[in-house]
Structure 1
Amino acid sequence: MAAGTFFSVSLTVWALGTGLSAAPSPALTPELGLSWKNISCATCRAIFTGLDIALQLNNNLDEVAVLASEVCVRLKLAPRDICEQAIALFKHDMITAWINSILKPSEICGLMLGIYCGHWDIYSDWNVTLPDKPKPPVIPPKPPQPGAPITRVLFLTDVHWDKDYIPGSNPDCRDPLCCRKGSGLPPKHRKGAGKWGEYSKCDLPLSTIENMLQHLQSRHFDLVYWTGDIPAHNVWHQTRKDQLLALNTITALVWKHLGKVPIFPAVGNHESTPVNSFPPPFIHGNESSAWLYDAMVEAWKDWLPKEAQETLRRAGFYTVKVQPGLRLVALNMNFCSHENFWLLVNSTDPAGQLQWLINILQDAENNGDKVHIIGHIPPGLCMKVWSWNYYRIVNRYEGTIAAQFFGHTHVDEFEVFYDEETLSRAVSVAFIAPSVTTYINLNPGFRIYLIDGNYSESSHSVLDHETYILNLTEANESVNPKWVLLYRLREAYRMETVFPADMDNLISLFLRDDGLFQRYWFLYHKGHTAQVCKEACKTATICALRTGRADDPALCKGFHKVVMFRETQNLWRGRRMC
């Protein structure tokens, strides 16, 4: 294969792989007209072996992009127009990052196809530095006294507003995102996209998002945590202007309906363009993320103090005191993301975020404060070395970190963290809330966390949570849709408390009680799935609940039956590419 062709296929695989193959889980993934099944490990390695040769030959990127589009079409990764637009969008940033990286073919194939195809974590030897101060004695959490104050936290994530959503359009189009301008009309046997949303590979119209916020306006909340992914999934055709329009439009709506409540946002992986493109702060000029962070500071300045605005502007993360005795940390989880190709340049604690987090936690410990951590991508889906360092931090500060909250996967799940010595004692839980969007085949939804309230000696721990949905089957037959309670955590699983040990016990119950697990599977999909999760699916799903530390087989050792390795890897890879 000529060097130019190698280069073109490399660009095709990267752009289409990182940009378009997003899916919450294998159970939710429809046939999008593109697939990794067209690329074998051997082909992947051959492609990226040729990339360095191609770069040395100094090919014209425009000429290579034309050839890459043809490769994309021939591999049936996407329709021609999608191939052309995706490659044009990704080519500059991806090649700039690649040129500055030292990634080997086996490593990038492991990154893109899974660890069965190669080792992908090229910076496996860095560690954050923890203070010498000994860890305080562990005090098991206790439920508050009856009548103690409760803090109600509204949690929103993965809104994914599609400004081109058109009711009546084709929900089953050939493109990776449907129900929109360009999707065409549905076939005669299929209803068109619903007014309020659709069970398909579709995002939400603005009317549904505003209807949700109008509903929420009449309810009482003390805090709002909002963990990103504002734009739609048309990632092959997004400009900075499009992304800023989404940011400002949805921020204005949230402010209009919830502005009286303290609101704390975090950045998602879809806020940038190209998608997942978040250079570390040492990348300057047009390639930097300054255009996005500056816009976020301007949009959110009334919610965040000056100190928080400074770190948000620099690298997309911040901390703020939200109540007496309670500090919030909003992380930029794109600095741990497999799909952030800028980390090919250097993934060693990008932006110094984890070391910064340690300093915040140590200060909180010194002052007797508790900390809530919010972010978009769950820690168990991060790059291995980042995830293991984060796990170590959570272990050290388990007495200070009262709760963790994430989104990204679009489904309803959690990750339990265990003590590093034995991997048997649960020390923390990362709650992962379902999406506002329907993408893919889901009801719209939001969550309310009930937290130990604002009083002296409060644990600020999660006491329960409630998940609400818009049932699209009923809503699309109505002018005034109803947002209804889907379930309460404690009630659904007959739990007295929901502390880390309780969530670990729940995982054990799922192993023994298949009926209870299938209920979890139904709620995992926000009340919309006809599939029964059996055998390898069940094992992989339960294993994910134990995996707050990425790529650690020891976390699931000893409780599962023989499981198809690919099933587990596909579940994890699907969860991480939303």
Structure 2
Amino acid sequence: MPDNSAVQLAMSSSPAGVKLCTSVCLILVLLLQNTSAKPLLFSQNNSLNNSNPLGLNAQQGLVSSALKNRNYLRYFAKETEQFSKSRPIPDNTVAQYFSNDALGSGTLSFLSRLPVLHGLLVSAGCNICKILVTAIQQLFIAGKTQAEIVTAMTKLCITFHLQDKRVCADIVPEFKTEVLTVLDKLVLSSDEICGIALGPECGSPYNPFYEWNITLSDKHKPPVVPPTLPKTGSPTVRVLHLTDIHFDRLYKVGTNAVCGEPLCCREDDGKPAAGIPGAGKWGDYRKCDTPVWTLENLFQHLADKQNEFDYIVWTGDLPAHDVWKQTRSEQVSLLSFLSQLFDKYLPNKPVYPAIGNHESAPVNSFPPPFIKGNNSISWLYYPLANSWMKWLSPEAKATVQKGAFYTVSPFPGFRIVSLNTNYCNNQNWWLLLNVTDPAGQLKWLIDVLQAAEDKKEKVHILGHIPPGLSDCLKAWSWNYYKIVNRYESTIVAQFFGHTHFDHFEMFYDEVDFKRPVSVAYIAPSVTPFPELNLGYRIYDIDGNYTKSSWAVLDHVNYIMNLTEANLYNKPVWQLEYSVKAAYQMKSLFPSDWNDLIARMTKNSTLLQLVNKHYYKSRDDGSCDSDCKMKLLCELKSGRSHDPDLCTDVGITDARMFYSVMKRTTSC
């Protein structure tokens, strides 16, 4: 993703933007559901002065004080200058809009002093988040109802062009239940709430995000034996990796692909403007997902070459990016549709899935098991278990129904573990209620890995969100990193998706963070969103024989060049590259991937090639010094929120680190 600030991303017309926009807008709106005497966002004994860089005084009118702060106003004017020039708003619009609105006189006093509020929401960032959260206190004190607040915020969304009318009308109701239910039980400061919404560089989320630690087995870690390549002629297994399919049943050829919404190329987007090409036959680079017929074409292609792989891993994200208008029943029907495709085209191939962040409705909403009743996630996990059980062992059903994770042993001495990484997702608001090892998944993982170590099994781990992304909560990520360190001789490969790009993440020994211990493979997406070719991957793996290492030996990527497919009306799934050949790697052990990073620091041709493949050959991969630093940092970061992992590639402080890591988040 482009290297925008968090709030710029929040207000952009992308699914990631809609999700973060939802978080920010609902901070401004839906936290106000409680009409008791105690403000929801602020504890009675909490002073705002410590968390507010602008020096707000809670006893002297929070908003008025902020607006009289000349340093703040100079900062704000600078931040909004360019945006205000490009998107002027009529004089007095703010005052006219709110004068008779449910938001009340306190907010009118605040907003009428900000004729460039639309620019503020787009570019002001962390400080303004805290100002607006503070302003909510006045709305709350005014005793506005949920309905009034939701109506007002929908109007605000439309008036300030945060999204178009259709998205604004649907996005607040879509997320209302989740956010209200969660935040009704919390007391958070502005520093905490903005830290959650915009990241820890903005504020300090409350302690549970950072202070829990998982307990490892009391059995000692066995001595580490350096890996070796299998003997020539040893059996191999080939594995197809599909991820982030994001197929769109409503895609329509020729429609507007520049619709201004997070997802386009649909009939209700209308026709394109004069001189602008409409949505392509086989897909489109411009914020559009995978057409159904393109997905069918992929499965036909895979059926024709099914002798080239033995089983399939699918690491999540099936629905389209229309995250503002999804329903539970629609999400379940999509799972059924994909299952039917596998049955139709690849009936004899086992599939080992992992759940993505888009499988739920609303997106990213995955309540832990202690949430019961209508808010429970059983509406998804039970159909998921029914769909997956034809590929899994009977004992996997209980953990899928509980938390959408499981383990299975396809061959003797080999085990697959599939994790639900939505329990580390920083946009899963349910985790605010109890973030400590949700669903007991990491404790379960330790038990599975210890049993595998005792039986001398080798393990592959599947998941959706790579643990090194800033999307993954710090405590969960760091605990997972610790587990990988402890069981480095058992875990021989990890497979993730989510970013839509082609890359990897390194794990290092926690002693000094120099010795590489594991690598996470992050596969390219099927969907072309955003501005990518379509892709998939096949791994060569040390195969089924006694004392097999089950290590990854090579992988090859295939892409559909969307420009050529639409130009000639002929989709072709072509070999993009073999990783060993392209990067001149002798093997794919963690040390080899670490060596690749070292060679990229000195070899600009190699750096450009890796960057080209990162974007699935969408361009030539040109990579300047800023790009180089960002790419290398991403590859070195197997755990989130740790700037120290990147000091040797030019990262000098936390602000720079978070700017870097935003490139691969929230797809």
What TM-score, normalized by structure 1, do the two folds share? 0.92
Tell me how far apart the structure 2 counterparts of residues 531 and 332 of structure 1 sit (CA, whole Å).
33
Long gaps (5+) in structure 2: 1-9, 23-85, 87-117
Q: How does 1:320-359 map to 2 (within 5 A)?
A: 320-359=408-447
1:108-507 superposed matches below 5 A = 108-120=193-205, 122-123=207-208, 124-219=210-305, 220=307, 221-381=309-469, 382-507=472-597
- State the number of aligned residues: 557
Distance 1:103 1:222, change over 3 A: farther
2:150 is matched with which residue?
Answer: 65
**How far did 1:482 drift?**
1.3
Once the two structures are TM-superposed, the CA of residue 102 in structure 1 deviates from its matched residue by 4.3
AA in 2 matched with 1:323: F
1:19 is the counterpart of 2:15:
no
C-alpha spacing 1:361/1:225, structure 2 compared with 1 (3 Å)? same
Q: Give, in whole Å, the separation in 1 of the partners of 2:141 and 2:244.
A: 41
Contact map agreement 1:417 1:548 (CA 8 A) in 2: yes
- Quick one: which amino acid aligns to residue 133 of structure 1? K
Task: Report the alpha carbon displacement of residue 105 of structure 1 after superposing the two structures with TM.
Answer: 2.1
Q: Aligned to 2:494, what secondary structure does the other structure show?
A: strand
What's the offset of the Cα at 1:120?
Answer: 3.2
Note the C-alpha offset of 1:541. 1.6
Q: After superposition, what is the alpha-carbon deviation per residue over 1:65-113, rounded to whole angstroms, capped at 9, x for unaligned?
A: 1111122234432112211200111111111111223443212212322
Residue 188 of structure 1: how far off its partner (Å): 2.7
Question: Residues 364 and 506 of structure 1: is their aligned pair in 2 closer, same or farther, counting only changes over 3 Å?
Answer: same
Counterpart in the other structure of 1:570: 659
1:8 aligned residue: none
Deviation at 1:290, TM superposition (A): 0.4
Contact 1:61 1:91 in 2 (8 A): no
- Flag the 1:21–1:48 CA change in 2: closer, same or farther, 3 A: closer
Counterparts in 2 of 1:168 and 1:96: CA distance versus 1, 3 Å: same
Q: Aligned in 2, Cα 1:38/1:296: closer, same or farther, shift over 3 Å?
A: same
Give the match for residue 561 of structure 1.
650
Q: Do 1:278 and 1:334's aligned partners in 2 also have CA atoms closer than 8 Å? A: yes
**Amino acid across the alignment from 1:203:** D
Match in the other structure for 2:183: 98
Consecutive unaligned residues of structure 1, counting only runs of 5 or more, are 1-10, 23-30
Alpha-carbon separation, structure 2, partners of 1:467 and 1:140: 28
Q: Which amino acid aligns with 1:396?
A: R
C-alpha distance in 2, partners of 1:377/1:239?
22
Judge conservation of contact 1:159–1:229 (CA < 8 Å) in 2.
yes
C-alpha distance in structure 2 between counterparts of 1:478 and 1:130, whole Å? 56
Change (3 A) 1:120 1:511: farther
Matched, 1:81 2:169: no
Q: Closer, same or farther in 2 for the Cα pair 1:193/1:548, shift >3 Å? A: same
The separation in 2 between residues aligned to 1:57 and 1:346, in whole angstroms, is: 30
1:508 aligns with 2:598: yes
**1:462 partner amino acid:** V
Tell me which moved more, 314-323 or 390-399.
314-323
Whether the 8 Å CA contact 1:378–1:407 is kept in 2: the answer is: yes
Greater alpha carbon shift after TM alignment, 371-380 vs 49-58: 49-58
Amino acid at match of 2:162: L
CA distance in 2, matches of 1:18, 1:317: 27
> How many Å separate the matches in 2 of 1:16 and 1:252?
29
1:574 is displaced (CA, Å) by 4.0
Distance 1:91 1:562, change over 3 A: closer
SS of the residue corresponding to residue 247 of structure 2 reads: coil
Distance 1:362 1:328, change over 3 A: same
**Superposition deviation, residue 531 in structure 1:** 6.3
Contact in 1 for aligned 2:554/2:588 (Cα 8 Å): yes
- Alpha-carbon distance between aligned partners in 2 of 1:103 and 1:245, rounded to the nearest angstrom: 38
**Contact 2:354–2:463 at 8 Å: present in 1 too?**
yes
In the aligned structure 1, how far is the partner of 2:521 from the partner of 2:313?
13
Structure 1 Cα separation of the partners of residues 665 and 371 of structure 2: 25
Q: Which deviates further from its counterpart, 295-304 or 539-548?
A: 295-304
The whole-number CA distance in structure 2 between the counterparts of 1:56 and 1:379 is 40
Matching residue's letter, 2:474: K
**Which residue identity lines up with residue 166 of structure 1 in the other structure?**
K
Q: CA deviation at 1:180?
A: 1.2
RMSD: 2.3
CA contact (8 A) 2:195 2:205 kept: yes
Larger Rg over CA atoms: 2
> Alpha-carbon deviation of 1:368?
0.5
Alignment partners' CA distance in 2, 1:192 and 1:34:
31
Q: Calculate percent identity across the aligned residue pairs.
A: 46
Amino acid at match of 2:218: D
Q: Distance in 2 between matches of 1:239 and 1:51?
A: 29
Letter in 2 for 1:145: K
